[in-house]
């Protein structure tokens, strides 16, 4: 295994703002993650083709800040638990709502429409937060309000990316109540719609329950890679037009992905 080649991806030498010693420090940390037995300064220098003096200074600094442990007998360095502690704090402290609000406000400011945040609640969905739109006439979806999974953009967005067994268990409980001619009224049609959502990365509600109301949403993933929430925009069909669904959908997906990344999800 050529560690030096593997590490090249992490060292962006062409970046305008790169800090060489910081990049070397991060590369050394990643190298040590592959060597639980520890490495000496000379071994690190050889494997990464870094100057020994530079490695000595960087390793000493990381050791002084408790990011590395040193074995005095073998003169080797290994990763400490401090990185794990920092990572756990980054993942556990902020809640979903806290991580989502800034992104939701950004979407609201861009489209002027109401932006809710929702999760699954049994065979229904539930709004847990919303940022109200800026238009005089706007849809209001207050926290605690439940929504149907077969008609709503968030319901489709979450279910489309669930594990198949879990998804099927939920779908089997859906009654597929019909609200108008656009409502999906059976499991086969719903599965076909979810396949399209997976292909596009976003979901739509073409006034399938409320006349004149269009919604476009995208899933949010947790650090285990499970779709567990969704953000979407809701507004009248005169403002959220069908011809704009794809463009808006990709934009909402981009915003939802930023929330997922902030929660520790890596595609």
Residue 248 covered by a domain? yes
Instruction: Decide if 45 contacts 24 (C-beta within 8 A).
Output: no
| More confident site: 112 or 14 | 112
Measured distance CA(205)–CA(139) in Å, rounded: 14
User: Are 99 and 153 part of one and the same domain?
Assistant: yes
Using one digit for the tens of pLDDT, what is the confidence trace for 130-189?
Answer: 999 999 988 888 888 899 999 999 999 999 999 999 999 999 999 999 999 999 999 999
Using one digit for the tens of pLDDT, what is the confidence trace for 79-121?
Answer: 988 876 666 555 444 589 999 999 999 999 999 999 999 999 8
User: Are 138 and 106 part of one and the same domain?
Assistant: yes
Give the pLDDT of residue 266: 85
Residue 267 covered by a domain? no
- Report the CATH number at residue 21: 1.10.10.10
Range of the domain at 215: 94-262
Domain finish residue from 64, 90, 116: 90
Measured distance CA(126)–CA(194) in Å, rounded: 19
Residues 162, 221, 169, CA angle at the centre, nearest 5°? Answer: 20
CB count in 10 Å sphere of residue 264: 16
User: Are 165 and 106 part of one and the same domain?
Assistant: yes
Measured distance CA(171)–CA(15) in Å, rounded: 48
Domain finish residue from 90, 115, 148: 90
Q: Please, what's the b/e burial string for 156-194 (b: 16 or more CB within 10 A of its CB; e: otherwise)?
A: bbbbbbbeeeebeebbeebebeeeeeebbeeeeebeebb
Instruction: Decide if 129 contacts 144 (C-beta within 8 A).
Output: no
28: tokens are 């050394």
What's the domain count of the chain? 2
User: Are 233 and 175 part of one and the same domain?
Assistant: yes
Q: What is the DSSP string of 26-41?
A: HHHHHHHHT-TT-B-H
Domain finish residue from 90, 119, 143: 90
Measured distance CA(93)–CA(114) in Å, rounded: 27
Residue 224 covered by a domain? yes
């Amino acid at each position: 295994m050529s560690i030096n080649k593997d590490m090249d991806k992490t060292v962006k030498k062409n970046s305008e703002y790169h800090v060489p010693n910081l990049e070397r420090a991060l590369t050394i940390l990643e190298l040590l993650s592959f060597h639980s037995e520890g490495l000496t300064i000379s071994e690190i220098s050889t494997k990464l083709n870094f100057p020994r003096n530079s490695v000595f200074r960087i390793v000493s600094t990381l050791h002084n800040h408790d990011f590395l442990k040193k074995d005095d007998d073998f003169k080797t360095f290994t990763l400490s638990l401090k990185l794990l502690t920092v990572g756990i704090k980054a993942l556990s402290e902020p809640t979903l709502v806290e991580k989502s609000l800034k992104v939701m406000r950004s979407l609201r400011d861009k489209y002027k429409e109401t932006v809710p945040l929702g999760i699954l609640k049994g065979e229904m969905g539930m709004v847990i937060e919303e940022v109200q739109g800026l238009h005089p006439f706007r849809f209001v979806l207050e926290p605690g309000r439940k929504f149907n999974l077969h008609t709503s953009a968030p319901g489709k967005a979450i279910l489309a990316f669930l594990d198949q067994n879990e998804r099927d268990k939920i779908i089997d409980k859906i009654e597929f109540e019909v609200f108008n001619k656009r409502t999906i009224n059976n499991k086969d049609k719903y599965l076909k719609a979810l396949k399209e959502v997976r292909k596009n990365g976003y979901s739509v509600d073409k006034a399938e329950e409320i006349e004149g109301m269009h919604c476009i949403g995208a899933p949010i993933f947790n650090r285990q890679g499970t779709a567990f929430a969704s953000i979407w925009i809701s507004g009248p069909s005169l403002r959220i037009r069908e011809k704009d669904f794809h463009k808006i959908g990709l934009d909402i997906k981009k915003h939802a992905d930023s929330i997922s990344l902030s929660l520790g999800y890596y595609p």
